[in-house]
Amino acid sequence: MDVSVIIVNYCTAGLVAEAVESVVRLTQGVSYEVLVVDNASPDGSGAELQTRYAGSGVVKVILSEKNLGFGGANNLGFSQARGRNIFLLNPDTVLLNDAVSVLSQYLDDNEGGGVCGGNLFTAEGQPASSFKRLFPSVSAELSSLMCHIPERLCYGRNVTFNHTGRDLDVAFIVGADLMIRRTLAEQLGLFDTSFFMYYEETDLCRRVKDLGYAVRSVPAARICHLEGKSISNLDRKAEINFRSRSIYMNKHHGPAYVGLCDLIFRISVNLRLLVLTLSGGNKTYWRTMKKMFAKR
């Protein structure tokens, strides 16, 4: 088996079906399987997917007894995967070409490559955030505070999307479409389940780089990412993001460094709230971020 495609479902049966259909329709250059892990969806969508794919020779549905979070559910799928390359695909994605083969071929042809991902597009076909050039750090926080101007000066248009037409070294791949070698995933244990959702791919890519492997953007692979469709509650999203950020920072940095990053981040949150207040924008996400700081 060349590739195991793992998709996690949590009350997103319709989205999962579209993602699976795009994999089956467009994947031609490799042998593959699709493992759909239902994360104890309370809406019965796990059973719905199990019925839909009963008897399928390609798609297997795995039912988790509890919600393991994004990382834990992917780890569960990985425990039953047979592919030598593991493709972690969000439920709110649709392949636009034979991205599975493109990414698998990249890992096969590049021994130093550990993780890769394609270019992501919005539903309207516009470039979407596909990777980051900086790991969470003082530099990243300062760049964010300055509207990412330092990164734009350094990387031009290729800060979060690969316009070059060639493979690029990046800090980490957005978890919507991340492919990793099986041997490397086994060595690392895939995701750290301390992260319920968000930052698990950031942590994984950092650990991959610490072992001396490259993390690459491969723009020949094209995927539509319906970002946010799988979690629409902004309060909940902000709370999970805040906690996962804290776990990541404390795992990889010392207290003084984390304190400096948090200080810059607090300033950024307050500035965003000020701008949104003046412009009449939706402040829910950033207001919750500010509340999370106050609770600490």
- Per residue in 106-131, pLDDT (tens digit) is 999 999 999 999 999 999 999 999 99
**Cα-Cα-Cα-Cα dihedral sign, residues 74, 76, 78, 81:** negative
| Spatial CA neighbour of 12 closest among 55, 48, 53 | 48
Answer for the pair 15, 226: CB distance below 8 angstroms, yes or no: yes
Average pLDDT over residues 133-150: 97
- On the question of pLDDT at 89 being above 60, the answer is yes
Average pLDDT over residues 76-96: 97
Question: What pLDDT does residue 26 have?
Answer: 98
- On the question of pLDDT at 229 being above 60, the answer is no
Average pLDDT over residues 7-16: 95
**233 band by pLDDT with thresholds 50, 70 and 90:** confident
- Per residue in 16-56, pLDDT (tens digit) is 999 999 999 999 989 999 999 999 999 999 999 999 999 88
- On the question of pLDDT at 230 being above 60, the answer is no
- Report pTM: 0.94
Answer for the pair 138, 265: CB distance below 8 angstroms, yes or no: no
Domains of the chain: 3-225 (3.90.550.10), 234-295 (no CATH)
Q: Give residues with Cβ within 8 angstroms of 285, minimum separation 6.
A: 234, 235, 237, 238
Average pLDDT over residues 267-278: 96
Q: Is 155 left (phi over 0), alpha (psi -120 to 50) or beta?
A: alpha
**232 band by pLDDT with thresholds 50, 70 and 90:** low
Distance, CA of 221 to CA of 32 (rounded, Å):
16
H helix count then E strand count, the chain: 11, 11
**Cα-Cα-Cα-Cα dihedral sign, residues 227, 231, 236, 240:** negative
Question: What pLDDT does residue 29 have?
Answer: 87
Task: State how beta strands 32-38 and 3-9 pair.
Answer: parallel
